[in-house]
């Protein structure tokens, strides 16, 4: 716990068997109350390894997408009583050692949502981020800061910490099940006035880490432009979108029908 608040780490995973053990080894267990992993129908041994590591594990019967994976992560964490939820990729692209720092910024009341930014500091290119990804990251972030009338160093990090209030009140079921989910969450949080903080996080690009290819990155970039335009139009009363409706669908238990919980492997004495 931190300041009397339960801290959960949730890990969306897909074919993460090569990196899961190292990711879990660096988690600050003295701070984290529980680790949940949701497997999006991997074809490798991710689930078996998660059982061996004694993680609370959920498995999608079929591949439902990165966004849907996160919806399962947050729903299950809230159901188990989490006060703070840190979303950490299982592919070791982000440093697990920063969990305590990110959760503390929420636990002590400074922020509602915290981002692990690869842009703050010298880490992005030095950590191996491809140049085209870095340039597109900077251009899209500049564009969004203007349309959102906000200031964030990076809208495209997959390392986030959320308060329970944020995950309970944002209309997350209105969001995509694809990779644009992360960006939609930030649009919703800014629209509803939540406080967003950032912390510098080293970037890690290596063969085992997941990464969007060029065509998927291009699709994501176009989706970011659309999310930003919707935000700008709604803010000026020129449109209304379900994505930004505070009364939109929240995380719901009956929305999920293709998930099973896998019990952890019993330890051998």
The CATH number of the domain holding residue 176 is: 3.90.550.10
Evaluate whether residue 265 is within a structural domain: no
Say what the pLDDT of residue 130 is.
84
Evaluate whether residue 236 is within a structural domain: yes
Evaluate whether residue 261 is within a structural domain: no
Evaluate whether residue 252 is within a structural domain: no
Local confidence band at 176 (pLDDT 50, 70, 90 cut-offs): very high
Instruction: Find, among 119, 114, 115, 149, the residue nearest to 134 by Cα.
Output: 119
Say what the pLDDT of residue 269 is.
44
- Domain of residue 183, residue span: 7-243
Evaluate whether residue 158 is within a structural domain: yes
Which tens digit of pLDDT belongs to each residue from 199-237? 999 888 766 666 667 788 899 999 999 999 999 999 999
Domain count, the chain: 1
Place of tokens 């629209």: 191
Evaluate whether residue 254 is within a structural domain: no
Evaluate whether residue 32 is within a structural domain: yes
pTM above 0.85, yes or no: yes
Evaluate whether residue 256 is within a structural domain: no
pLDDT (average), residues 158-169: 97
């Amino acid at each position: 716990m931190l300041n009397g608040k339960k801290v959960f780490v949730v890990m969306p995973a897909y074919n993460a068997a090569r990196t899961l053990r190292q990711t879990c080894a660096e988690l600050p267990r003295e701070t984290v109350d529980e680790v949940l992993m949701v497997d999006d129908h991997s074809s490798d041994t991710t689930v078996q390894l998660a059982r061996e590591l004694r993680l609370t594990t959920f498995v999608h019967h079929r591949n439902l997408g990165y966004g849907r994976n996160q919806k399962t992560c947050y729903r299950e964490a809230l159901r188990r009583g989490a006060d703070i939820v840190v979303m950490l990729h299982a592919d070791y692209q982000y440093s697990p050692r920063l969990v305590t720092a990110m959760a503390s910024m929420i636990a002590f009341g400074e922020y509602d949502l915290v981002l692990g930014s690869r842009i703050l500091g010298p880490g992005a290119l030095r950590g191996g981020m491809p140049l085209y990804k870095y340039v597109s990251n900077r251009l899209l972030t500049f564009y969004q800061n203007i349309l959102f009338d906000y200031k964030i160093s990076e809208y495209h990090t997959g390392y986030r910490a959320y308060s329970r209030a944020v995950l309970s009140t944002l209309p997350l079921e209105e969001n995509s099940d694809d990779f644009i989910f992360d960006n939609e969450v930030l649009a919703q949080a800014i629209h509803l006035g939540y406080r967003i903080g950032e912390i510098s996080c080293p970037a890690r690009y290596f063969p085992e880490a997941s990464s969007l290819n060029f065509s998927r990155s291009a699709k994501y970039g176009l989706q970011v432009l659309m999310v930003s335009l919707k935000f700008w139009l709604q803010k000026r009363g020129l449109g209304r979108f379900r994505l930004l409706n505070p009364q939109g669908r929240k995380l719901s238990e009956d929305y999920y029908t293709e998930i099973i919980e896998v019990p952890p492997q019993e330890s051998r004495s």
